[in-house]
C-alpha cells in the first residue's frame, strides 16, 4: 500500500482501499427484514464480490415497497482494489495499512490526500475522525479515526527529525478546516468581528496553483491543539438527522495540515541562528521581506522573476537552475566538486569547506470527508434537507465525472488531450491537485453490507475501481531561500562575477567570512588539505621517477638486443611486439602522471594562496575582536544608562496609573451613554433577527422559484416540441401552396376562357334585350289586337245567334256563310296556336338548359376564384352577381319573356292578317 519512492516528477497511481462497515442497530430497524442480507463479501485482502440475487427496493413509500432488479441482475460481480478491509477490521489496522505510509511521504515534502467516498451512513466520518479524540493513538483497541492518529504520527516524526538534525532542520505546522455547504466555501476556524463565518474564495495564480483566498491557517505545536481545532470545526459543521443516519453530514469537509520545513543542505555546520538572516545580511531589527513562498501545484519550484526599476537587469540562470528551484553546484577554478561555494541566506558562508544553503520545503496533507450520496425517498428529506441533498449529489456527480474523465483507459491509451471538468463544482476545483495533479492520493471507499443498498454499493465500487486508473505526477515542493529577494540575487550575481574574474586572472576567491570560529575551522581544514596534497605530490613524484628510470632501462635493453641480434629482423620484430605495448602503457601512465602532477602543483599554489589569505583574515579578525571588546564596553555603559532610564520610566508609569484611576472615576459618569449604546445595540440585534427571518423567507421563495423554473423548463420543452410540429405543418402547407400556385396558373387560363365566353354572352344578352324591347312593343300591339279579336268574337257570336234564328227562315244567307268561314278559320288558328305553343315549350327548355350551363360555368369560375383568394389570405365577396349586376336567374326570365313575346307577336300578327283579309 505504501507508495513507491519517487523522485521529482515521478508518476504514481491513486491508491484505493475498500472498507465494509459492519451492520448497525439502525439497519435492523430501518431496513426491511428481507433486504438485510449481506450482499458484499471480501474474498481476499484485495478482492470483493457483490451478490444481490434478489430484488432491491426501488422506493420506500410504503411498508410493501415494490422491488426492482438489482444492479447485478442475479450475477456475482468481483472488484479488485489495493486493499479490502472486512467489517471486522479495526481503526488501528486501517490506519497502519493505508495512511501511515503517506505520512512518511508528507514529512519528506510531498503533498498527500486521503478522501472518504461512499453512500450516506456508510461510515465515512467514523473512518476519518472516529471517536475518543483524547485517547492514546498507539492503542489498537480504541475508536480513533485516521485524522487524530495521523496527526500524532506526524508530530512524532517531526520531533525525531528535530532531534536527529538539530539546528540544521526547522519546521512549522499549520492547520485549517473548511466545509463546502450548498456550493459555498466556509472557513470553520475563522470568523469576523460579529462572529459570522467567513467565506473562502478560490483563486489560481499564473503557474496554475490553486489558492484558497481568505482561509485562516492556525499554527499548531502539539497534537492536542489540532484536536481542539477539529472539535471546534466539527461542532460548527452542518449535520442533521435523516431516516438513514442520525448524524448525517450535510456538507463536504476538508481538514488540511501544512508543513513548512527549512533544511540546511550543506555538510558543514549551519548558522547559529535557527532562523537565518534575510538575503542581503540585514540586521534582525529591520523587517525583512518574506524569503519564500508556499507552492502547491504541478511545478512548485517555478521562480517568477521580478523587475527592478532603475537597476540593470539580473542575468538569467534559467539554463543552470533545475525545476525544483535549488541552485546547482558550481565548480570554481580547480576546486573539487565537494568544495561548492555558495552563500547562506544571511550572506555568510557556512562553516568549513562544504558550505550549504537553506531550502524551504512546503507540503500539504488534505483529509477529505465527503458527504454521502443519498436518495430523497429513502432519507425522507424535507425543506432545507432537500436543497442540501441536491447540492451534495451535484457535487458528487461532478466528482464522478472527473474520475471518469481521468480514469478512462481508452483516453489514456489514445495519448490525446482530454477535457477534465474540474470547474463544474467547487469540490472538484479544490481537489484538482489531488486527482491527476501533484499529490499522493488515497481513496477510502466506504460501503454498506446490506442488500437494501446494493445499487449504491455497486456504483461506489465502480467509481472507486475507475479511480485506480488515475495517474498523479508528484514532485517535492522545495525552494532555496532568497530566490524571491531581488537584492539578494543581485548581491549573489555581483559576488559570482567577482569570483569568476579572480579565477580568470589566476587569483583567489574573495572570502566573506565574518565569524572567527568559522574561519578557524576553515583554516584547519585548509591546512589539512594542503598537507594531504603535499603528500600526494611527493608520492606521485616518486612514482614518476621510478617509471622514468624503468622506461630508460627498457629502452637501453631494447637497443642492446637489437645490436646483438646482428640484423635478425624476425627476432627483433617479435621482441618489439612483446615490449611495444608495455612501453606504450608506460608512456601513457607517465603522461597522465605528468598532467596530474601539474594539476596538483596548481592546486598547491592555490592552497598556499588561500592559507596566506586565511592568515591575513585571522589578523583582521584579531583586530575586529579587539574592536568588539571595545564595543562591548560601550554597550555596558549603555546598559547602565538604560537602567537609569528604566527607573525614571517606572516613576512615569506610576503617574500614569494614578491618571488611569481618575479616568475610571470619570468613566462612571458615562454609564448613561453606555446604556443608550446598549439599547441601540439591542435594536440592531432585533433588526438582525428580522433580517434573518427575511433571508429565510427569501430562501423559501427561492426554493419555490426553482420549482417554478423547473416547471417552466418543462413547459418550454413542450412548447419547443409543438413548435417543431408547427414547423413541419408550415413546411407541408408551403409545399401545398406551391402546388396550388401551379394549379392557379391553369385556373387563370380557364378563367380567361370563361371571361371571353361571358363577353360573348353579354353581347348576345344585349341583342336579347333589344329583342325584348321589340317584343314589349309587339305585346302592346297584340293586346290591342286581342281586344279587337275579343270584340269581333262577341260580335260573331251575336251574329251567329242571329244567323241561327234566321237560318230557320233563310238558310242560304251570306252572313251565315261568313260565320261558317270564320269558324273554320278559328279552328285553324287554334291548331296553329297549339303548334306555336309546342315550339314555345321547346324554346323554354332550350333556354332553361342554356341558363343552367351558364350558371354552372359561372359557379365553377367563382369557386376557383374564391379558393384562390382564400389561399392568398383575401376575403371573397358575400354574393356573386352576374354581368352588370344582373343575376343568372333574371337573365333566364328575361330571355323567356322575350321569346314568349316574339311567339305571341307572330301568332297575333298572323291572326290579324287573316281576320283583315276575311
pLDDT (tens digit per residue) in 421-465: 888 888 888 888 888 888 999 999 999 888 888 888 898 999 899
Report how far residue 329's alpha carbon sits from residue 316's, in angstroms, rounded to the nearest whole number. Answer: 16
Where is the domain boundary, 621, 656, 691? 656
Report how far residue 298's alpha carbon sits from residue 477's, in angstroms, rounded to the nearest whole number. Answer: 9
Strands 252-264 and 83-85 come out as unpaired
576: exposed, middle or buried (C-beta count within 10 Å: 0-12, 13-18, 19+)?
A: middle
Strands 440-447 and 47-50 come out as unpaired
Do residues 455 and 519 both lie within one domain?
no
- Give pLDDT, residue 667: 65
Band the pLDDT of 304: cuts 50, 70, 90.
Answer: very low
Band the pLDDT of 111: cuts 50, 70, 90.
Answer: very high
Strand partners, 443: 16, 115
Report how far residue 706's alpha carbon sits from residue 712's, in angstroms, rounded to the nearest whole number. Answer: 10
Note the pLDDT tens digit of each residue in 702-742: 888 888 888 888 888 888 888 888 889 888 888 888 888 88
Do residues 99 and 29 both lie within one domain?
yes
Chain centroid to Cα 881, Å, comes to 75
Note the pLDDT tens digit of each residue in 618-628: 777 777 777 77
Mean pLDDT of 546-566: 75
| Domain presence at residue 89 | yes
Do residues 829 and 749 both lie within one domain?
yes
Report how far residue 331's alpha carbon sits from residue 308's, in angstroms, rounded to the nearest whole number. Answer: 29
Do residues 50 and 121 both lie within one domain?
yes
| Domain presence at residue 684 | no
| Residue 250 scores a pLDDT above 60 | yes
Do residues 446 and 563 both lie within one domain?
no
Q: Which residues of 857-895 are buried (b: 16+ CB within 10 A; e: fewer)?
A: bbeebeebbeebeeeeeeeeeeeeebeeeeebeebbebb
Q: Is 432 part of any known ligand binding site?
A: no
Higher pLDDT, 198 or 333: 198
First and final C-alpha spacing in the chain: 151
Band the pLDDT of 278: cuts 50, 70, 90.
Answer: very low
| Residue 256 scores a pLDDT above 50 | yes
- Give pLDDT, residue 492: 75
Q: What is the DSSP string of 404-430?
A: HHHS-HHHHHHT------GGG-HHHHH
| Domain presence at residue 127 | yes
Q: Please check whether residue 362 is in contact with residue 258, taking contact to mean a CB–CB distance below 8 angstroms.
A: yes
| Domain presence at residue 198 | no
Report how far residue 394's alpha carbon sits from residue 425's, in angstroms, rounded to the nearest whole number. Answer: 8
Q: Is 130 part of any known ligand binding site?
A: no
- Give pLDDT, residue 499: 74
User: Which residues are CB-contacts of 857 (< 8 A; sequence separation ≥ 6)?
Assistant: 754, 757
User: Which residues are CB-contacts of 355 (< 8 A; sequence separation ≥ 6)?
Assistant: 266, 268, 340, 341, 342, 344, 349
Q: Please check whether residue 35 is in contact with residue 446, taking contact to mean a CB–CB distance below 8 angstroms.
A: no
Strands 15-20 and 83-85 come out as parallel
Closest Cα partner for 348 from 406, 410, 269, 415?
269
Q: Is 648 part of any known ligand binding site?
A: no
C-alpha neighbours within 13 Å on the C-beta side of residue 829: 18
Q: Please check whether residue 263 is in contact with residue 361, taking contact to mean a CB–CB distance below 8 angstroms.
A: yes
**Which three-class secondary structure state does DSSP give residue 247?**
coil
Count other Cβ atoms within 10 Å, centred on residue 249: 22
Report how far residue 902's alpha carbon sits from residue 918's, in angstroms, rounded to the nearest whole number. Answer: 24
- What residue ranges in 3-145 does DSSP mark as E strands? 10-13, 15-20, 40-42, 47-50, 55-57, 67-69, 77-80, 83-85, 112-118
Write out the residue range of the structural domain in which residue 569 sits.
513-656
Closest Cα partner for 345 from 259, 260, 274, 267?
274
Strand partners, 360: 262, 479
| Residue 67 scores a pLDDT above 50 | no
Report how far residue 868's alpha carbon sits from residue 876's, in angstroms, rounded to the nearest whole number. Answer: 9
Closest Cα partner for 434 from 366, 376, 483?
366
Of 353-357, 413-417, 471-475, the least confident = 353-357
| Domain presence at residue 544 | yes
141: CATH: 3.40.850.10
C-alpha neighbours within 13 Å on the C-beta side of residue 681: 7
Report how far residue 253's alpha carbon sits from residue 186's, in angstroms, rounded to the nearest whole number. Answer: 10
Mean pLDDT of 257-276: 69
Q: Is 882 part of any known ligand binding site?
A: no
| Domain presence at residue 867 | yes
C-alpha neighbours within 13 Å on the C-beta side of residue 390: 8
Do residues 451 and 548 both lie within one domain?
no
Q: Please check whether residue 197 is in contact with residue 190, taking contact to mean a CB–CB distance below 8 angstroms.
A: yes
Note the pLDDT tens digit of each residue in 159-184: 999 998 888 889 999 999 998 888 88
Report how far residue 368's alpha carbon sits from residue 505's, in angstroms, rounded to the nearest whole number. Answer: 61
Do residues 577 and 524 both lie within one domain?
yes
Strand partners, 649: none
Closest Cα partner for 183 from 397, 488, 454?
397
- Looking only at Cα atoms, what is the longest distance across the chain? 222
Report how far residue 608's alpha carbon sits from residue 614's, in angstroms, rounded to the nearest whole number. Answer: 10
What are the backbone dihedrals phi and psi of residue 85, each rounded to the nearest 5 degrees, phi first?
A: -115, 115
Rounded to 10°, the helix 671-809/888-917 angle is 10
Do residues 851 and 747 both lie within one domain?
yes
Higher pLDDT, 821 or 37: 37
| Domain presence at residue 576 | yes
Mean pLDDT of 378-390: 67
Strands 252-264 and 169-181 come out as antiparallel
What is the H or E stretch that residue 104 is in?
helix 100-108
Chain centroid to Cα 453, Å, comes to 30
- Give pLDDT, residue 175: 94
Higher pLDDT, 136 or 444: 444
Do residues 115 and 28 both lie within one domain?
yes
| Domain presence at residue 875 | yes
Note the pLDDT tens digit of each residue in 314-328: 333 333 333 333 333
Where is the domain boundary, 431, 463, 480? 480
Count other Cβ atoms within 10 Å, centred on residue 237: 20
Q: Is 871 part of any known ligand binding site?
A: no
Mean pLDDT of 861-879: 61
Q: Is 123 part of any known ligand binding site?
A: yes
Do residues 28 and 144 both lie within one domain?
yes
- Give pLDDT, residue 6: 41
Band the pLDDT of 3: cuts 50, 70, 90.
Answer: very low
Instruction: Indicate the average pLDDT of the chain.
Output: 73
Q: CA 432, 145, 451, 38 torsion: positive or negative?
A: positive
Report how far residue 217's alpha carbon sits from residue 752's, in angstroms, rounded to the nearest whole number. Answer: 96
Number of domains in the chain: 3
Q: Please check whether residue 211 is in contact with residue 204, taking contact to mean a CB–CB distance below 8 angstroms.
A: yes
Report how far residue 357's alpha carbon sits from residue 271's, in angstroms, rounded to the nearest whole number. Answer: 10
Do residues 468 and 518 both lie within one domain?
no
Report how far residue 358's alpha carbon sits from residue 266's, in angstroms, rounded to the nearest whole number. Answer: 8
Report how far residue 423's alpha carbon sits from residue 109's, in angstroms, rounded to the nearest whole number. Answer: 28
Where is the domain boundary, 656, 683, 704? 656
User: Which residues are CB-contacts of 210 (< 8 A; sequence separation ≥ 6)?
Assistant: 202, 203, 204, 296, 297, 429, 430, 432, 433
Q: Is 125 part of any known ligand binding site?
A: yes
Tell me the whole-structure pTM to 2 decimals.
0.48
Name the region of 204 (left: φ>0; alpha: ψ -120 to 50; beta: rest). beta
Of 325-329, 381-385, 437-441, 689-693, the least confident = 325-329
Q: Is 308 part of any known ligand binding site?
A: no
Do residues 545 and 595 both lie within one domain?
yes
Amino acid at each position: 500500500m505504501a507508495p513507491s519512492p519517487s523522485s521529482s516528477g515521478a508518476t504514481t497511481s491513486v491508491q484505493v482501499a475498500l472498507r465494509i462497515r459492519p451492520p448497525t442497530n439502525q439497519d435492523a430497524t430501518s431496513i426491511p427484514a428481507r433486504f438485510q442480507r449481506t450482499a458484499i463479501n471480501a474474498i481476499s485482502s484485495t478482492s470483493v464480490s457483490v451478490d444481490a440475487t434478489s430484488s432491491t427496493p426501488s422506493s420506500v413509500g410504503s411498508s410493501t415497497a415494490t422491488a426492482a432488479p438489482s444492479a447485478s441482475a442475479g450475477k456475482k460481480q468481483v472488484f479488485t482494489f489495493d486493499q479490502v478491509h472486512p467489517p471486522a477490521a479495526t481503526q488501528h489496522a486501517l490506519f497502519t495499512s493505508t495512511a501511515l505510509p503517506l505520512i512518511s511521504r508528507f514529512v519528506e515534502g510531498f503533498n498527500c490526500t486521503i478522501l472518504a467516498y461512499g453512500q450516506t451512513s456508510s461510515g465515512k466520518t467514523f473512518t476519518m475522525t472516529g471517536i475518543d479524540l483524547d485517547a492514546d493513538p498507539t492503542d489498537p483497541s480504541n475508536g480513533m479515526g485516521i485524522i487524530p492518529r495521523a496527526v500524532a504520527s506526524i508530530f512524532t516524526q517531526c520531533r525525531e527529525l528535530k532531534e536527529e538534525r538539530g539546528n540544521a532542520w526547522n519546521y512549522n505546522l499549520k492547520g485549517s478546516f473548511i466545509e463546502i455547504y450548498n456550493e459555498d466555501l466556509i472557513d470553520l476556524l475563522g470568523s469576523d468581528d460579529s462572529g459570522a463565518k467567513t467565506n473562502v474564495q478560490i483563486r489560481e495564480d499564473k503557474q496554475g496553483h490553486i489558492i484558497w483566498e481568505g482561509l485562516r491557517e492556525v499554527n499548531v505545536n502539539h497534537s492536542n491543539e489540532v484536536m481542539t481545532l477539529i472539535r471546534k470545526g466539527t461542532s460548527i459543521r452542518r449535520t442533521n438527522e435523516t431516516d438513514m443516519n442520525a448524524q448525517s453530514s450535510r456538507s463536504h469537509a476538508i481538514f488540511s495540515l501544512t508543513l513548512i520545513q527549512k533544511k540546511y543542505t550543506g555538510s558543514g555546520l549551519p548558522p547559529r541562528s535557527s532562523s537565518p538572516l534575510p538575503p542581503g545580511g540585514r540586521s534582525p531589527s529591520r523587517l525583512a521581506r518574506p524569503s519564500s513562498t508556499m507552492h502547491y501545484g504541478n511545478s512548485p519550484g517555478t521562480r517568477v522573476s521580478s523587475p527592478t526599476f532603475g537597476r540593470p537587469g539580473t542575468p538569467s540562470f534559467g539554463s543552470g537552475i533545475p525545476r525544483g528551484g535549488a541552485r546547482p553546484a558550481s565548480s570554481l577554478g580547480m576546486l573539487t566538486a565537494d568544495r561548492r561555494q555558495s552563500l547562506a541566506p544571511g550572506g555568510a558562508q557556512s562553516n568549513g569547506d562544504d558550505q550549504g544553503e537553506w531550502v524551504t520545503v512546503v507540503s500539504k496533507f488534505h483529509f477529505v470527508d465527503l458527504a454521502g450520496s443519498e436518495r430523497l425517498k429513502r432519507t425522507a428529506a424535507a425543506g432545507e434537507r432537500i436543497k442540501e441533498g441536491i447540492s451534495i449529489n451535484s457535487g458528487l456527480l461532478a466528482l464522478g465525472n472527473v474520475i471518469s474523465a481521468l480514469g478512462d483507459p481508452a483516453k489514456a491509451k489514445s495519448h490525446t488531450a482530454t477535457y477534465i471538468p474540474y470547474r463544474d463544482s467547487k469540490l472538484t476545483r479544490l481537489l484538482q491537485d489531488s486527482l491527476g495533479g501533484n499529490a499522493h492520493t488515497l481513496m477510502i471507499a466506504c460501503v454498506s453490507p446490506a442488500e437494501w443498498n446494493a445499487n449504491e454499493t455497486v456504483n461506489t465500487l465502480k467509481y472507486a475501481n475507475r479511480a485506480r486508473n488515475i495517474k498523479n505526477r508528484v514532485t517535492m515542493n522545495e525552494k532555496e531561500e532568497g530566490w524571491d529577494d531581488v537584492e539578494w540575487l543581485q548581491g549573489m550575481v555581483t559576488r559570482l562575477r567577482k569570483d569568476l574574474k579572480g579565477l580568470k586572472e589566476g587569483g583567489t576567491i574573495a572570502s566573506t567570512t565574518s565569524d572567527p570560529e568559522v574561519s578557524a575551522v576553515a583554516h584547519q581544514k585548509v591546512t589539512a588539505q594542503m598537507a594531504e596534497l603535499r603528500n600526494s605530490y611527493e608520492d606521485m613524484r616518486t612514482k614518476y621517477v621510478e617509471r622514468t628510470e624503468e622506461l630508460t632501462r627498457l629502452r637501453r635493453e631494447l637497443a642492446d638486443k637489437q645490436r646483438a641480434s646482428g640484423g635478425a629482423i624476425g627476432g627483433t620484430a617479435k621482441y618489439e611486439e612483446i615490449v611495444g605495448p608495455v612501453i606504450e602503457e608506460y608512456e601513457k601512465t607517465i603522461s597522465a602522471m605528468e598532467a596530474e602532477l601539474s594539476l596538483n602543483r596548481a592546486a598547491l599554489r592555490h592552497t598556499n594562496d588561500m592559507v596566506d589569505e586565511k592568515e591575513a583574515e585571522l589578523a583582521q579578525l584579531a583586530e575586529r575582536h579587539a574592536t568588539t571588546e571595545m564595543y562591548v564596553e560601550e554597550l555596558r555603559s549603555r546598559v547602565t544608562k538604560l537602567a537609569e532610564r528604566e527607573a525614571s520610566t517606572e516613576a512615569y508609569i506610576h503617574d500614569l496609573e494614578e491618571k488611569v484611576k481618575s479616568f475610571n472615576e470619570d468613566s462612571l459618569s458615562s454609564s448613561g451613554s453606555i446604556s443608550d449604546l446598549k439599547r441601540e445595540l439591542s435594536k440592531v440585534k432585533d433588526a438582525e433577527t428580522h433580517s434573518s427571518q427575511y433571508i429565510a423567507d427569501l430562501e423559501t421563495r427561492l426554493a419555490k422559484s426553482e420549482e417554478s423554473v423547473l416547471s417552466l423548463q418543462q413547459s418550454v420543452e413542450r412548447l419547443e416540441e409543438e413548435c417543431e410540429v408547427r414547423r413541419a405543418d408550415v413546411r407541408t402547407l408551403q409545399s401545398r401552396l406551391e402546388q396550388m400556385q401551379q394549379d392557379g396558373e391553369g385556373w387563370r387560363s380557364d378563367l380567361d376562357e370563361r371571361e371571353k365566353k361571358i363577353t360573348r354572352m353579354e353581347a348576345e344578352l344585349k341583342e336579347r334585350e333589344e329583342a325584348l324591347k321589340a317584343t314589349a312593343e309587339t305585346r302592346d300591339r297584340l293586346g290591342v289586337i286581342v281586344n279587337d279579336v275579343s270584340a269581333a268574337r262577341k260580335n260573331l257570336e251575336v251574329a251567329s245567334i242571329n244567323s241561327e234564328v234566321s237560318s230557320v227562315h233563310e238558310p242560304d244567307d251570306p252572313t251565315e256563310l261568313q260565320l261558317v268561314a270564320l269558324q273554320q278559320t278559328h279552328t285553324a288558328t287554334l291548331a296553329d296556336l297549339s303548334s306555336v305553343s309546342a315550339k314555345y315549350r321547346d324554346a323554354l327548355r332550350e333556354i332553361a338548359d342554356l341558363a343552367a350551363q351558364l350558371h354552372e360555368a359561372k359557379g365553377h369560375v367563382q369557386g376557383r376564384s374564391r379558393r384562390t383568394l382564400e389561399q392568398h389570405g383575401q376575403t371573397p365577396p358575400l354574393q356573386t352577381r352576374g354581368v352588370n349586376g344582373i343575376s343568372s336567374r333574371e337573365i333566364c326570365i328575361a330571355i323567356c319573356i322575350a321569346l314568349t313575346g316574339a311567339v305571341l307577336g307572330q301568332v297575333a300578327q298572323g291572326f290579324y292578317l287573316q281576320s283583315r283579309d276575311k
